[in-house]
Structure 1
Amino acid sequence: MASRRLLKYLRYYSSRVPGKAVFREGWNNAFGKHLLFTNTWTSGVLMIGGDIMEQEIEYQRGVISKRYDWSRVGRMFLTGLLFGPLHHYFYGWMDRVLPKRNMGSVTKKILLDQFIMSPACIACFIYSMGALERKPLKSSTDELKDKFAEVYLVDWCIWPPTQFINFYFLPVKYQVLYINAVTMVYNVFLSYIKHRDMTPVAAPISSDVIPQ
């Protein structure tokens, strides 16, 4: 009797809330009332993806002896979480002040992104990683001075064409997700720049090689 009642309930709810409707509702919530949460967590998770790819490259090149440094991954994740709200509010603000999708508005958005958001993100990355690594503030400032020009130059090569697609074609609610997806690949470069000062691991000496 109980099993028959349970089966009846399952049939009722499966007919009332089909799978596509559940998926659609979840998607709308993720990119609607929970958009800040979505932008924040996708930023952190995709930052992890970029750093893991870079660590694999470093491992294959012999720069690191341990395949994955999970404490480093954790620091990259926490730093990525900071970028989510930063992008969320900045792109929302730009869409309010420049709502049109024409060449003039898109060009202005790209310039605002390059002259305001890009330097802010570079500084945020360096200082937040330095804080998580417990480095003195002066050390992070010196690192920013040393690496800023190089990172900013690469920014100008990657982000203007990327942002043209973003600002011209995509609804604002998907813009941060798109940026996060591109950033996962860009984070390989960021992680390389951040950690390239590590001393390469010495290659082991083969046992059949006798020093002269």
Structure 2
Amino acid sequence: MFRKLLNSYLHQLEARPMLTKMISGGVVVGLGDAIAQRISPHYKKFDKDRFLSMITYGFLVSGGIGHLWFRGLDKYFGNSMTIKNSIKKVCADQFIIAPPEIVFFLWWSHYTSQSTHSFTDLIKATLPSLLVQNYAIWIPSQFANFYYIPEQHRVLFMCAICVVWFAILSFTSHEFEN
């Protein structure tokens, strides 16, 4: 069963790479949000609107932009899977795209939740700790991703890590609201 599902995914990845990665991103971010809602003491009932908003974010940003970003890194730095090249890609990924992506995620969750709190207060309260958590999770993960994983599978690898990461992001951004 698992092998059949994996083969189907790999076929779709070959035939429709962008769409497949966008769907993967939506599923993973949605799963992360579902976990965050489940562990939050503030949510007694599942918030479907929040869940759909997070799926949309994952589809557009994590999957769509992630596909383009990884391709761009390979185009700019080359696709050799060496330690030096992997470190360059990790630095670009973590210091160029990660901080604005976290801010964008916070903005997305803040405005789609119709929060009454200030976005500036949300950033001040959550961004420093989220950046530290981001670097702790993503620097080693992305190094492994760039060093060991071929380009066509990087978004899938990233998605596996994203379940945990987006649970943290969703929990943190929405807990601030309560």
What SS does structure 2 have at the residue aligned with 1:100?
coil
CA contact (8 A) 2:81 2:147 kept: yes
* Correspondent of 1:31 among 13, 17, 23: 13
Higher mean C-alpha displacement, 30-39 vs 86-95? 30-39
- Separation in 2, partners of 1:147, 1:52: 20
TM-score under structure 1 normalisation?
0.74
* Correspondent of 1:97 among 51, 76, 81: 76
What SS does structure 2 have at the residue aligned with 1:197?
helix
Q: What one-letter code is carried by the residue in structure 2 that aligns with 1:89?
A: L
Summarize the Cα distance change of 1:86–1:120 in structure 2 as closer, same or farther, 3 Å threshold.
farther
Residue 52 of structure 2: aligned partner: 74
Deviation (angstroms), 1:146? 2.7
- Separation in 2, partners of 1:179, 1:108: 17
- Separation in 2, partners of 1:77, 1:94: 25
Q: What one-letter code is carried by the residue in structure 2 that aligns with 1:46?
A: V
CA contact (8 A) 1:88 1:176 kept: yes
State whether structure 2 residue 119 is matched by structure 1 residue 140.
Answer: yes
Please identify which structure carries the higher helix content.
2
Q: Which has the larger radius of gyration?
A: 1
- Separation in 2, partners of 1:148, 1:52: 22
* Correspondent of 2:62 among 83, 94, 97: 83
TM-score under structure 2 normalisation?
0.86
Summarize the Cα distance change of 1:80–1:155 in structure 2 as closer, same or farther, 3 Å threshold.
same
Residue 202 of structure 1: aligned partner: none
User: Structure 2: where are the runs of 5+ without partners?
Assistant: none
Residue 27 of structure 2: aligned partner: 45
* Correspondent of 2:143 among 129, 149, 164: 164
Q: What one-letter code is carried by the residue in structure 2 that aligns with 1:181?
A: A
What SS does structure 2 have at the residue aligned with 1:165?
helix
* Identity of matched residues, %: 26
What SS does structure 2 have at the residue aligned with 1:64?
coil
User: Structure 1: where are the runs of 5+ without partners?
Assistant: 1-19, 200-212
Cα-Cα RMSD:
2.3
Deviation (angstroms), 1:37? 0.5
- Separation in 2, partners of 1:27, 1:73: 23
The residue correspondences of 1:110-125 to structure 2 (distance < 5 A) are 110-125=90-105
Summarize the Cα distance change of 1:41–1:141 in structure 2 as closer, same or farther, 3 Å threshold.
farther
Deviation (angstroms), 1:27? 4.4
1:61-109 CA deviation, whole Å, 9 max, x = no partner?
Answer: x43322x111111111111122211111111011112222111101101
Residue 36 of structure 2: aligned partner: 54
Summarize the Cα distance change of 1:51–1:150 in structure 2 as closer, same or farther, 3 Å threshold.
same
